[in-house]
Structure 1
Amino acid sequence: MATVNFYLDKPNRKDQRPILLTYLLNGSKIRFSTKLKTTDKDWNAKDQKVKRNGANESEINFALDEFKRVITKAELDTKFDPSGLTLDLIRSKLEEATGKKKAAFTIFDAFDEYIREAEITKTTSSKKIYEVTLNKLKAFNEDKRYQLSFDSIDSKFESKFTDYLINDHKLVNNTIGRYIKTIKSFMHFATERGYTNNYRFKSFSVIKQGVDIIYLTEEELLKIYHFKNLPPRLDTVRDAFCLGCFTGLRFSDLSELKFANLKQDFIELKSKKTRDFLRIPLNDYSKEILAKHKGNPPQVISNQKMNDYIKEIGELAEINSNTILIKYQGATKVEKIEPKYNFLSTHTARRTFVTLSLEKGMRPEVVMSITGHKDYATFKKYIKLTENVKLAEMNNAWNNKIEP
């Protein structure tokens, strides 16, 4: 049982007596100078505080309560790991609170540094993932009182953090995988900087499961493309979305597309995500959209607002076939069945371009050169060939009978 007591030390030349703190834990104790002073006549030994109307009563008693608060927080933080509560820990916390000891460079300080450096070399979307991962780690540390440190990044942490994301935040496996991947990347950074020599993170498993790819069939795309009488607020969004479907541009590139990027039969730009130079041929549909906007790319609104509008456009165009989207939270299957328009987003455009281009017979390497994909493993997740294409391929391969 731990106890905190305040008592007066020997008086100085002005008859002021320093107030000392003692902390008793499992039969051992530490003494700590509060740097506060009072006199015998102002001190209430029974209540261990300055008497009412004593000199500096409010200031001193408030400070003494703060010392207790620091100790109480340290005790609560180690509630689920009693071995972590030590006299050294209490002394360290008291020293930090009084400025005697500079606060230690923590794992969160290192993660902030990691994010700051990402601003130089990483994309905005990558930096956002890093920031969200850090926030999740801080929430985990607070909610579970885990006392996260460089040394505690081990298999036990991996298990508990994954469990926390599944059960407390209801996240799906692929999202959890992104957080674990980011933590591994951060720990590589920390070891290279010499902040830790803990390499146990290397065994962490990054969950990456195949996902259902939502794309438009050619019939559905053309229904949206030719749909008449859309409200003005939706018409330009439809044009921008369809331009993505006909070029494979990412939203981040589509949103920054300018007249200067249009070079006769091509779009020429440096991809915001990969910083690669892309030269994308313009087909008749793309040219028609640009001509409608007097040779300029259609104006693009925010990603979130555009996603809302695309769903609305899909509903108006009756892109409403029942669609099943399956994800996993741990081993639990989460199945969502809704009209297809509810699953449409800006990223559907890129998936639609890849899938329809392949269905129309374009070679994968040609499509990859247009979209900027560098390896087939990444590119493959966008491919979802229809049953009709499978049937056509099978017929072409096997239905030319050779007579004996």
Structure 2
Amino acid sequence: MTKSFALLFQMKRTKALPNGNAPIYLRITIDSERVEIATKRNAPPDKWNTIAQKVMGNTDEAKSVNNHLKTVEQKAYEVYREMIERNIPITAQTFKDRMNGIEEEVVCRMLIPIFEDHNRQVEALIGKEYAPATAIRYQTTIKHVKNFLKWKYKVSDINIQDLDHEFVTSLEFYLRTVRHCNNNSAVKYIKNLKKIIHICVANNWLVRSPFINYKTKIKEVIRDFLSSDELDSISEKRFVSERLNQVRDVFLFSCYTGLAYADVNKLKRSEISTGIDSQKWIFTTRQKTETASRIPLLPVALDLLKKYEDYPACINEGKLLPVLSNQKMNAYLKEIADVCGIEKELTFHIARHTFATTVTLANGVSIESVSKMLGHKNIRTTQHYAKILDSTVSRDMDMLRGKMEAKKSAVLKKVTNQ
């Protein structure tokens, strides 16, 4: 990090000594911050040349003072160069201390303890500032970093002063090749490390971030969703296994409400209330982002809630629906997809995508309303769903065709009547 650095010798005429001489100080300016250092030399005020910053005359005394000032100036430039080379944080005060022989003990800060301390803080703030999944992602990231250090450098930790651009690019290469991470996963792990580096820079433990000039980009993912026919196929299917019927019902509830697995799992009766239209709504908060989500309940969702209203397992566990673990839900959904002849990899999160596309946007619900119901913080997140709807494009183009045909007919009619 480049810092402005300037030296100036000046005489303190207001601090005159008994013999009439005045002391000479070295003023140091670093990034507009100033300090002064006594040179332990003095001279007659009328002999001091402010512009040349030296004592005028050829006397032995004048030569001695000027030689000393040159030595002090040379030492100042050497100290500045040394601090840059050793990556020691440079401020006016730290520079003054080193000039005066006061050297702050250089603490050897290692990457892994800093990362672990950050992760402990994240875990302590689960439910307040962070979701459990966020803490898991940081734990996964530090695991990858530890394995990378052993793979690349044959060490278990590294001094943060040794982190550079090559370290970051090598980590990215490791994630993509050795760990076989896709682009977005690799980028997210790198971004998690970048946060740790920002902490180091903010605390002045690092002068320069190794992420300077490093660029990467998240690739847009095409999200799978169920078509109207596929949704009907699952809805109308009756399974021999009662467990499959229950999993299907919970999945359909998400398809018609847009709730993610974690939000369906924690949904309580108290979160179902009457909205401004006198209809039943869900009033909840997304676990992932802690944003409010207000969702009017469609008839299908209401019927599903009514179906399990007196279900013993739901009553005993205080749930609205018999929700299994996410892993078990996804395992059963694969079986449901096979039975229904759906070739897509059916996971619970597809239900949320289906609500955003097939159930709402494809039926003319505004993207602003869909974004609000999904609990998105940014409407751009919702716009990803709108991009993949061929039916929306088709409908818009049909409207354009109609307008163009009407215009063409009007022109022909006008020509005919002439």
TM-score range, shorter chain: 0.5 to 0.7
TM-score, normalized by length of structure 2? Answer: 0.64
2: CA distance, partners of 1:209 / 1:227: 36
Structure-2 residue corresponding to 1:371: 374
TM-score, normalized by length of structure 1? Answer: 0.66
Given that residues 308 and 320 in structure 2 are in contact (C-alpha distance below 8 angstroms), is that contact kept between their aligned partners in structure 1?
A: yes
What SS does the aligned partner of 2:369 have? helix
Q: Does 1:123 align with 2:138?
A: no
Amino acid at match of 1:374: K
| Shift of residue 197, structure 1, vs aligned partner | 2.7
1: CA distance, partners of 2:175 / 2:204: 29
What SS does the aligned partner of 2:289 have? coil
Instruction: Give percent identity, aligned residues only.
Output: 28
Which runs of structure 2 are paired with 1:131-210 in the superposition (5 Å)?
131-145=139-153, 147=155, 148-210=158-220
Which runs of structure 2 are paired with 1:4-403 in the superposition (5 Å)?
105-119=109-123, 120=125, 121-145=129-153, 147=155, 148-264=158-274, 265-294=280-309, 297-320=320-343, 340=344, 343-356=345-358, 357-400=360-403, 401=405, 402=407, 403=410
| Shift of residue 384, structure 1, vs aligned partner | 4.7
| Shift of residue 229, structure 1, vs aligned partner | 2.4
What SS does the aligned partner of 2:294 have? strand
1:322-361 Cα distance to aligned partner (Å, 9 max, x none): xxxxxxxxxxxxxxxxxx1xx2211111111111211100
| Shift of residue 313, structure 1, vs aligned partner | 0.9
What SS does the aligned partner of 1:263 have? strand
1:118-156 Cα distance to aligned partner (Å, 9 max, x none): 121211111111110000000000122265331233221
- Cα pair distance change 1:208/1:394, threshold 3 Å: same
Structure-1 residue corresponding to 2:71: none
- Cα pair distance change 1:225/1:153, threshold 3 Å: farther
- Cα pair distance change 1:303/1:146, threshold 3 Å: same
| Shift of residue 104, structure 1, vs aligned partner | 5.2
| Shift of residue 385, structure 1, vs aligned partner | 3.6
1: CA distance, partners of 2:203 / 2:324: 41
1:188-222 Cα distance to aligned partner (Å, 9 max, x none): 12222343333232433233011121100111112
Structure with greater helix share of residues = 2
1: CA distance, partners of 2:300 / 2:331: 24
CA-atom RMSD, angstroms?
Answer: 1.9
Asked which structure has the greater CA Rg, the reply is 2
1:54-92 Cα distance to aligned partner (Å, 9 max, x none): xxxxxxxxxxxxxxxxxxxxxxxxxxxxxxxxxxxxxxx
1: CA distance, partners of 2:192 / 2:331: 29
Structure-2 residue corresponding to 1:73: none
Structure 2 residues not aligned, in runs of 5+: 1-106, 275-279, 311-318, 412-418
Aligned residues: 281
1: CA distance, partners of 2:137 / 2:229: 36
Structure-2 residue corresponding to 1:11: none
